[in-house]
Structure 1
Amino acid sequence: MSTTQVVVITGASAGIGRATAQAFGKRGAKIGLLARGQAGLDGAKKDVEDAGGQALAIPTDVSDYDQVEAAAAAVEEAFGPIDVWINVAFTSVFAPFIDIKPKEFKRVTEVAYLGFVYGTHVALSRMIPRGRGTIVQVGSALGSRSIPLQSAYCGAKHAVDGFTSTIRTELLHEKSNVHITIAQMPAVNTPQFSWVLSRLPNHPQPVPPIYQPEVAARGVVFAADHPKRKQYWVGASTVGTIFANKFAAPLLDRYLAKTGYQSQQTNEKAKADAPYNLWEPVDGGDGHDHGAHGVFDSKAHSIAPQLWFSHHVRLATGGAFVGLGLAVLGVRRLLR
């Protein structure tokens, strides 16, 4: 793979986006880093340059199409044509649906869904005329299987899946050499659980098993290198969720209704004045660089054998069905 790839990453200041920027930096890529928080962008730029790549940090709110278009133009002016566009940026609210204000739900949708739409449109407007390029959507198992307390985020991820499938069929119809794929993520140890708007009594957490953001980044990079597949699964929970939802959805509904509230909270009481990034970044110009990792390092896995299986379809399918059988047995036992 050429070390002169030009890559754009939205949500590059922290979490999966930050880890993905580090991974491409190690390959010597030229990377446009898009996010709202200046401190995080500055940290991501340093990470990329320390790894051997080049970076342009562009403060961008992906819910504003004009800002995304301007960022793409700036990247191409600095580095040349964009080869890979990776949509990661999102925000969310942790609360029962009835406790989420309409303007909050709208904001999550504008960032976590329309941000992907705008990024895809800006990228395709450049890639299609050139006849080359790759778009990677960072999806989630929650785009196939919704869980309680995350209605806005789950809705956005379902929408991303449906939208991306439409774009893929249009590109296939045109016999285009531009490709689009999704890297479906499991629970990942990112800073979002410390800065998400939460109305839960306890500190929010990802539903175990939890993986480090570097595992997620490896999945994104692989998807960018091999974009002809519809999607890639990263982590055991993603594979199991997708297959179990298809074959055991009623059981999953009951299981999640029973366990979904507790599994998304730690035993630590939430801070009443905790900052959140729904409207403004928590790592502003004079703020704190949160990096790629969240606060769950002690619980997060650094490897995911399922990522290898995701790269080998036949083995993955067989393994997933075995996992599905075990998962269904486990759910039935819990529901007794």
Structure 2
Amino acid sequence: MKKVLREITLDLVRVTEAAALVSSLQLGRGDKEAVDRAAVDAMRGMLDYIPMRATVVIGEGEKDKAPMLYIGEKVGTWEADSPEYDIAVDPVDGTRLVAYGLSNAISVLAAAEKGAITYLPTFYSWKLAVGPELAGKLDLNLSITENLRRASEVLGVKISEITVVVLNRDRHRDIIEEIRSAGARIKLISDGDVAAAIATAIPESGVDIYMGIGGSPEAILAAAALRCLGGEMQLRLWPHSREEKEKVLSDGYDLERIYRTEELVSGEDVVFVATGITSGDFLKGVRYMRDKVITESIAMRARSRTVRKITAYHDVKHKHVPLKSRGGDVSFFELQR
């Protein structure tokens, strides 16, 4: 298993590259559904080429609501001697960002040993993400003000020098007000909280803390990356309706429990890959230059904490992308027309 995960890391990069390339053709057209359809089709098509026996545990939704990359779907070649493990995917983290030509959209995939990726029963979670310097130093049970005070002490800076990323949502009004009252800087984002959480562990991003209520699947993907970067994700389940709350409680979940990084994605054989679709805090987006298309991807492994950035130059006239809906490879040049 250890050897195989290392060997297929670059193959997994090709998966997010394909999703980024095809979805980038929808840039600025205002159609979020078209962005997602394109990315899902390309990601699912490329996964058929990867020598593995993998199960989607975080994907596009339940089988009856998602035609491809649904939870429980089997992907890969499924050859007898291939390794078996679980994957979490988000073909586009930030479909709205691509649809309207905004920054920070990425295509994401995480792979781990069978059973290593935790299932979260709520659509949303209360999340707190930090980089290596603050890992283990903050606590989701504490107030925002107290966590900012602790961060100030650990980092050796004034609270006014700390930057917190928050999704710009009505539900975050109180959170934003408390951060402002404490004196910290705020970076509000419209979408793309996987990239935002990971940015806390990227020194050049200028981001120190990510907090707020966001998607649970995105939390798992960010946790996989933070495992590889030495950062930390903490979360608490946040039911968004009375019906969801009743179901979660009846299933035996504790709404006060704090999940931490290693509980969300366990084991040492964790791989995280992502490709930029639109340029953002830590990845450049897809760029078109005459007969070439340039992509930038990142690949990480938890075991070695090795992080690789990969710049690829794709020759438009020779590039083919496998689309599941077409049953095989399609010329990228033809897709552009």
What is the TM-score normalised by the length of structure 2? Answer: 0.30
What is the TM-score normalised by the length of structure 1? Answer: 0.30
Hey, which of these two has a bigger chunk of helix by percent? 1
